[in-house]
Amino acid sequence: MTAIHTTSSATQWCAPPQDANPDARAIRLTDVHLENGERLPEVVVTFQTWGRLSPDADNAVLIEHALTGDSHVEGEAGPGQPTAGWWPDLIGPGRTLDTDELYVVAINVLGGCRGTTGPGSTAPDGKAWGSRFPRTTIRDQVAVEAAVADALGIDAWFLVLGGSMGGMRTIEWAAGLPQRTRAALVIASAAQATGDQIAWGQAQTLAIASDPAYAGGDYYDTGVIPEHGLGIARRIAHATYRSADEFNTRFGIQPQESEDPLDGGRFAVESYLDHQAGKLVARFDAGSYVHLTAAMATHDVTRGRGSLTEVLGSYPGLLRVAAVDSDRLFPVELSEQIVAAHGRGHVRLLRSQHGHDGFLIETEQIAAVVSETVADARRRRLPVRVAG
């Protein structure tokens, strides 16, 4: 199995960006080599941690966030952090990820906009990277995370887990760095992007690119953001994140309060999508949205490695897979493909009316799956060969 490429030649601790969450920490990587042969001379990576690393560094858990998520998995909204934790009540003393025993890490992804270097970051010439930011992949994201693990003294993760794009990085850890991944929990995700996902992603990125304010990706110094295009992209995406049954049951054909659709007013479901669009525009960057959507489209753990069975069948660690029964973006069969290729276990099915977003909403079911995985990983404690 091919090891992932080397990420950087050096790391250095540094202060997180001034507008970052004050609970964040940061390291600076230099000479970061990318899968496409390009390089970034410098990458600042921000992350959050909970608990303490054990003397043997064998209790570290990596939580992988989704497309518009961030490292703020647990906690309230506050300065530099516009939203509360996206998986509440999962991390802490006595909780599912018990910080009396586990050291939990969450890293803001490469190419994002929550502190780690991305299109809106400053390039060596003092201007925003914008359209010049090189294309990166899920493998590049994981390689940067591996450099963070190195800086923290973590040779191998006790557990890596995440959903959606976070699940893509999770399975990439198992496929690309199996020696450093004792256990993996892939939730509502896939081993490879599908044509359906790529198609929906293109509609979203074209919506952003068609906004004149986007300026080909070079809007950062104009003082104007492509909020119209990003809002449309979010509406498209959110329609795939939720189930048809939820939309029909929750909204149906009801108008929005006193508005009359026959007189140009909105339906209730349209008002809901407008609200979701406004929330994202207020907290996320359009350039990062385009960049990360492109990274998801190229996700494929088999690229250059052989068949899916060859890649996952040889993974020596514990692999658990969970899916949402109403997910139409990452349908259950994609999780079944992972399990079949691995050759062991079964899909843990989360019951939800909420579609793909069920992995964020059904917190009790998520906690149960995570608890089971942690318990199984503790029982196995497989020996891990650290790559030299």
Q: What confidence tens digit (pLDDT) does each residue in 289-322 have?
A: 999 999 999 999 999 999 999 999 999 999 999 9
Residue 166, pLDDT > 60, answer yes
CA 32 and chain centroid, separation: 20
User: Topology of 13-194+301-380 in CATH?
Assistant: Rossmann fold (3.40.50)
Residue 3, pLDDT > 50, answer no
- Provide the pLDDT confidence category of residue 237 given band limits of 50, 70 and 90: very high
The pTM is what? Answer: 0.94
Active-site positions?
164, 327, 356
Tell me yes or no: is domain 197-295 CATH 1.10.1740.110.
Answer: yes
- pLDDT computed for residue 235 by the predictor: 98
Hey, where are the domains in the chain? 13-194+301-380, 197-295
- pLDDT computed for residue 231 by the predictor: 98
- pLDDT computed for residue 311 by the predictor: 97
As a whole number of angstroms, the distance between CA 280 and CA 1 comes to: 39
What is the average pLDDT across 258-274? 97
Strand 103-107 and strand 159-163: pairing?
Answer: unpaired
The tens digit of pLDDT for each residue in 351-368 reads 999 999 999 999 999 999
- Provide the pLDDT confidence category of residue 18 given band limits of 50, 70 and 90: low
Query: Average pLDDT over the chain, rounded to whole?
Result: 94
As a whole number of angstroms, the distance between CA 232 and CA 274 comes to: 9
Long-range contacts, stretch 37-42, CB < 8 angstroms, 24+ apart: 38/134, 38/135, 39/134, 40/117, 40/134, 41/124, 42/117, 42/124
